[in-house]
Chains A and B, each alone.
Chain A
Amino acid sequence: MLMRFTEEQLMIRDMVREFTEKEVAPRDKWMDENGFDRALYDRLCTTGLTGVHFPEEYGGAGCDAVTSTIVIHELSKGSASLALALDISWVASDMILHHGTQTQKDKYLPLAAEGKIFAFGLTEASAGSDAARIQTTAVKDADGWWVLNGGKSWITNSGVADYYILMAITDRSKGAKGISAFIVPKETEGLIIGKHEEKMGMRGSSTCELSFDAMRLPPDALLSSEGMGFKIAMQGLDGGRISVAAISCGLAEHAFELAKAYANERITFGKPIAKHQAIQFKFADMATDLTAMQMMTYNAAEVKASGKRHTLEAAEAKLFCSTRCTQICLECLQIHGGNGYSKEFDVERFVRDSKLLEIGEGTSEILRMVIGGTVLGK
């Protein structure tokens, strides 16, 4: 692939690759069985990668969106779960980067850069795709404090996060424009971490329900201004979707490499299965998809890095990459035959991990609505 990465980007890529091979990939199976790996995440923080794209004045390395995409892409070759945890943490903390007041930026961004975990809470039990229909309310009390009541579902990093960015209704009459965003530290009274989801895949990332019982927040917990929450969330998801596309690339490439090694080793009918045309054609299709996936992902990242709106590119990249990733993981399982169906082989886990990529941060159906609406509206 002819991606014109800068020399620094290539050095960061090599560094993440080395870290992923040595320290991340060996932990992925453990995480699948045991859940989020705090020690590994702490290690990730000491590498400085968690702050890669934050401006230097906040303790980051000042890299662009292409570089942060490289980080997610490479990490997901070792663990899609870990990459997802970092992706969501960035989605949430970037909301402060792009919409926070100077005081909020000064307070939270250095923490985000050093690796404090952030979570993003939009989805509720009765509002997923239809996110503007959330029910959680935030009401101002006599002292000007906000009081939140309600709950969230499917919140990645919940239970392990240090800070939550939560969406709540401040003015029901205004629909989506009546939603506001709040910054909530984990120790806030009234923030209750609920049921931990027993997920099919991505089990190395923590996902729980949250509920808010008269949770009081100071006035400066409001991110940006009243009514901006939905816009902040949608913009945040534009960035997150590029990361999900990158995770799709990394996970699919990892599956591809394992299947390739297996196909060259496994002998049937007197030759390695890689020499059977039916298997070769699978690799041809997968390799072609992978090239397209990488190009779409980095194209979207480059549009974002250039400062332009990237809603369309991000949605297209996520739709294509996540769909292809699931298919590639399934094909790689198929290439492993019966072994592929065993937990002893990693592809089984990859198949389970991959499906989330078509659901989280906008389902494929919703992305088609975004893309269709945009291209037809043009």
Chain B
Amino acid sequence: MKILVFIKQVPDTEDVKLDPRTGNLQREGVKSILNPLDANAIECAMQLKARYGATVVAISMGPPQADAVLKKALALGCDESCLLSDRAFGGADTLATSYTLAKAAEKIGDYDLLLFGRHATDGDTAQTGPATAAWLGIPQITLATSLDVRDGWVVCTREIEDRIETVRAKLPTAVTVCDTINEPEYPTPKNIMKALKKPRYVWNAADLGADTRLTGIPGSPSSTKTVFEPPKGNTDTRYFEGSPAEIAVQFVDMLEREHAL
């Protein structure tokens, strides 16, 4: 089985603040980390590898510094890494990003399973995984809370608001995983010592045979106009008084008045 895990370098959101004047993310001096949910995707691949045997390739699109997350992926047990790096990839939205990732998947070929974190903590769109599947014309399963592979099918559970559904799709399939799917492990010293000796590829647009009208800014129909913090302090707080039963009645009355029930 060949598993491709797509990972992204993101600013450590615990450190990130918005510049109140410009509305932009203040990235200065902020640590870059592996998108936390991508660690779940890697762990998922490692569990499949331990169970069934697999070659796991970690792929990231980003500037040369993004190699740091690929090194971490190798230290976590991935077998190979591919950094997709080219000025022509810069400024990409999710459409252009997913096109580029799909080109990398095509170049690697013979893939059975594509794994993504449910979303990246910086952009928070949750679109890149599904869009990559669309470019490749393969099935997709989003928000997986468990995953297994049986007889050429991938079987996942998905937790939707009011139910848990079990779905399956024939390989190759792309799956985006939730953080509840597993508990990511730390890289072990043994794997760290092996990490940098594994095959590590760096590919640009030409290597991928990518159409640069579809990558980076030219390939991105969407762009960010402004980023702002949701206004605070305008929440409507109401206090009810009385016994628990009286409070419950007042509360239900209010919900009815507000057409919430």
Contacts and interface: CB of A to CB of B under 8 A. Distances in A.
Interface in B54-72: 71-72
Given A11-B72, A11-B75, A48 B196 contact: no
B190 interface: yes
A47 B188 contact: yes
A62 B196 CA distance: 15
A11 B71 contact: yes
Interface stretch (A12-20, A174-182, A186-194, A262-270): A12-20
A134 B188 CA distance: 41
A11 B72 CA distance: 8
Contacts of B186: 15, 18-19, 47
Contacts of B193: 8, 61-63
A57 interface: no
Contacts of B71: 7, 11
B136 interface: no
Main secondary structure of the interface of A (DSSP, over half): helix
A63 B192 CA distance: 10
A18 B189 CA distance: 13
B4 interface: no
B189 A61 contact: yes
A52 interface: yes
Contacts of B188: 47-48, 61
Interface string A8-30: 10011001001100000000000
Interface in B124-181: none
B68 to A, nearest CB: 9
A165 to B, nearest CB: 24
Chain A interface size range? 10 to 19
B221 interface: no
Most interface-central of A11, A47, A49, A56 (chain B CB within 10 A): A11
B195 interface: yes
B53 interface: no
A56 B192 CA distance: 13
Nearest to B189: A61
A18 B33 CA distance: 12
A328 B133 CA distance: 57
A159 interface: no
A51 B189 contact: yes
Contact of B195 (A11, A19, A51, A56): A11
Given A11-B71, A11-B75, A49 B196 contact: no
Contacts of B195: 8, 11
B70 to A, nearest CB: 12
Interface string B183-202: 00011111011011000000
Contacts of B75: 11, 15
Contacts of A18: 186
Contact of B196 (A7, A47, A61, A63): A7
Interface of A: 7-8, 11-12, 15, 18-19, 47-49, 51-52, 56, 60-63, 67
Given A15-B189, A61-B193, A63-B193, 13 more contacts: A7-B71, A11-B195, A15-B75, A15-B186, A18-B186, A47-B188, A48-B190, A49-B189, A51-B190, A61-B188, A61-B189, A61-B192, A67-B189
The 7 A-B residue pairs with the shortest CB-CB distance, nearest first, are A48-B188, A61-B189, A61-B190, A52-B189, A11-B192, A48-B189, A15-B186
26 contacts: A8-B192, A8-B193, A8-B196, A11-B71, A11-B75, A11-B192, A12-B189, A12-B192, A15-B75, A15-B187, A15-B189, A15-B192, A18-B186, A19-B186, A47-B186, A47-B188, A48-B188, A48-B190, A51-B190, A56-B190, A60-B190, A61-B188, A61-B190, A62-B193, A63-B193, A67-B189
